[in-house]
Amino acid sequence: MAYCKYCGREHNVGFVSTRFAGTDGVSLETAKWADVFEHVGFACFYFAGELDRPADCSFLVKEAHFQHSDIKAVFRKCFGVRVRDRSVTRKISKLKSKLKDQLYEFTKKFNIDLLLPENALTIPLNIPLGIALTEFISETGMPTIAHHHDFFWERQHFMTNAAWEYLNMAFPPHLPSIEHVIINSSADNQLSLRTGISGTIIPNVMDFENPPPLSDGYASCGFDTNEDVPKSDDYADDVREALGVADDELLVLQPTRVVKRKGIEHAIELVHRLGMKAKLIISHASGDEGYDYERRVREYSKLMKVDTYFVANIINEQRGRTENGRKIYTLEDVYPHADLVTYPSTFEGFGNAFLEAVYFCRPIVVNTYSIYTMDIKPKGFDVIEIDGYVSDEAVRKTRQVLTDKKLRQKMVKHNYETAKKYFSYRILSKKLKNLISDCTGCPLPDNSR
């Protein structure tokens, strides 16, 4: 049992989503929010269809997952079509009722007094869950902070559908007990325009107040080694060898899934045009969006004669061993060994990989996707930009950064300090505490972190 440091009362927060597991953006940001809540004495509990949180604070409901067979069947019958069968409506209603009953049980079991839906009222991968949440909040009036990462209207494939009444009702709902949080200014504008809802912008963050463990890879990062920076262990010293990168080769890291909007062709073209010995390392698998694009990336790599390695089998959220005995590394193990990070996405809700590259002091190539242009670039970051295609200037600047140590050191240190100012835990804590106070009546001070 936990008690707030400032009001002395017990406060239990219930995070709700389709899954809290792995390294997807929702799961990662939820962990950061939970850290803020726990820091002030709130206890955190989790409701989802897939969970890697401790069992004593988890509430697993299989139908909450977007990959559950019944939920997938509903999705297929509601999107890409304009009319749905009456049987689908009945199925949605049945699933909604079951999920709502489970929400009541969850909140009762853990004595939840603040609800945190994480993208479950935003993207309609699980329509019954969104409706269940909306009805539960309407019926109970429970204080709720709905954290929205990416809305359905931002994805073209959601726009042809036979579920408009559900989307208008629950994605997101306009209820008096809900405070809405969005992660970028474009989403804020569209949320207000489309629904009349006024939201609060809280960007994605990283713990820039606490630098990553110091390793040999950080000799070029500009950190003062006399500072109280923790030393890294030696587990990942063999990362380059494990990834097949020779001592005289560049390790170019593409720290994303293999999906079309990541624009990986641009990374391949850049490596080809650099004319330097290099390997392109892609950290994550295709996931649930199919493998057609991965085939395209493999074919394009062969065409451009770029050594492209798909290493999702040895990169995971936790260290360990594969079935055949190979070491498994975390992405955090790999970043310090990267000479360059490529992030040529055409669309991102925010850009976690951008902040990760900055946190680990790696130079980064970024496509000027809209949210970067609106919310990140104006902060003054020094990066290598491409604007929809790989230009001669981008190739020239990349070569310069890779070969000029002083320039690289100046660039990554500037970026780290800039991110610390605008995208740190301190910023998250400051913005989130106001919402917590409004929802719970807990008088959190400005220096609550």
pLDDT tens digits along 352-400: 899 999 999 999 999 999 999 999 999 999 999 999 999 999 999 999 9
Apex CA 317: angle with CA 312 and CA 320, to 5°? Answer: 80
Q: Return the structure tokens found at 406.
A: 């002083």
For the residues of 269-296, what is the DSSP string, one character each?
A: HHHHHHTS-EEEEE-S--GGG-SHHHHH
158-191 residue pLDDT tens: 999 999 999 999 999 999 999 999 999 999 999 9
Task: Point out which residues pair with 385 in neighbouring strands.
Answer: 366
CB 271 within 8 A of CB 299: no
61-84 residue pLDDT tens: 999 999 999 999 999 999 999 999
Domains, the chain, ranges and CATH? 12-205+425-440 (3.40.50.2000), 216-422 (3.40.50.2000)
179-228 residue pLDDT tens: 999 999 999 999 999 999 999 999 999 999 988 876 554 444 555 544 55
What gap in Å lies between CA 354 and CA 341, rounded to an integer?
A: 9
Strand order in the sheet with 340-343: 307-310, 278-282, 250-254, 340-343, 364-367, 384-386
**Percentage of the chain lying above the pLDDT 90 cut:** 78
DSSP H or E stretch at residue 192: helix 185-195
Weakest-pLDDT range from 208-217, 311-320, 329-338, 343-352: 208-217
Q: Which residue has the tokens 């309407």?
A: 138
Strand order in the sheet with 58-60: 58-60, 43-48, 12-16, 114-117, 144-148, 178-182, 199-201
Provide mean pLDDT across the span 406-411: 95
CB 64 within 8 A of CB 48: yes
How many other CB atoms are there within 10 angstroms of residue 439's CB atom? 21
pLDDT at 24 over 60: yes
What gap in Å lies between CA 316 and CA 321, rounded to an integer?
A: 10
What's the pLDDT score for residue 222? 57
What's the pLDDT score for residue 440? 81
CB 206 within 8 A of CB 419: yes
Phi, psi of 110 (to 5 degrees): -105, 5
